[in-house]
Amino acid sequence: MSADIRLIVGLGNPGSEYEQTRHNAGFWFIDEFARHFSTPLASESKYFGITGRMPAPYPDTRLLKPMTFMNKSGQSVAPLANFFKVPPEQVLVVHDELDLPPGVARFKQGGGHGGHNGLKDIIRCFGNNNNFHRLRIGIGHPGHSDRVTGHVLGKPPQSERDAIERIIDESVRAVDLALAKGWVEAKQYLHSVR
């Protein structure tokens, strides 16, 4: 059975100074996913973000890049989800993940925010409902908590960026599989990528 996902959100920070930073891995995913599906993206001020509606066979699925800055992501996600009556269980949030190395991505549903400010705000704006799906794009950990902010807001070296882009390509295929055939096949595919 196909995954019933009606909203795919990629997290990041707006502005050219953040464009190439690790924290924008969710934006990179949405851009690649939209390109793969020939989905035009346009600014939507009422949702405080850049959105797109996927073509057939998934016309009920929307894409969103919040333009609110990371720690206010929920202020973009919640209005769009509410307007189109999309419950948290039908939302997939794509975000950078410190606990996975570059070149690795994993699906997950529910759970805490792990200190990720974008997830934290989305959970808050969903009335503390954390039951949405996540696609965690590995960016690696700098080794010490004092260095996390500089790491996520830093530009990865080319070797890491290449690894992140490769796993984003694989993740696009995996989400396509989820939409077509369901989470089991999508997870088997993505979680076996080496």
Three-state secondary structure of 122-135: HHHHCCCCCCCEEE
Question: Is 58 flagged in the annotation as binding?
Answer: no
CB neighbourhood size of 109 (10 A): 13
From the list 57, 145, 137, 61, the residue with the least C-alpha distance to 104 is: 137
User: Is 126 annotated as a binding-site member?
Assistant: no
Q: Is 18 annotated as a binding residue?
A: yes
* Dist. CA 9–CA 17, nearest whole Å: 21
Strands ordered across the beta sheet of 105-109: 42-44, 49-53, 62-66, 7-10, 91-97, 133-138, 105-109
For residue 20, give the DSSP letter.
T
The reply, when asked if residue 69 is annotated as ligand binding, is yes
Identify the CA nearest to 77 among candidates 156, 189, 110, 69. Answer: 69
Tell which residue, 24, 36, 105, 31, has the closest CA to residue 64. Answer: 31
From the CB of residue 20, how many other CB atoms can be counted at a distance below 10 Å? 12
Q: Which of 23, 95, 116, 151 is catalytic?
A: 23
Query: Known catalytic residue: 23?
Result: yes
Q: Please state the residue numbers annotated as binding site for tRNA.
A: 18, 69, 71, 117
User: Which residues are catalytically annotated?
Assistant: 23
Binding-site residue ranges: 18, 69, 71, 117
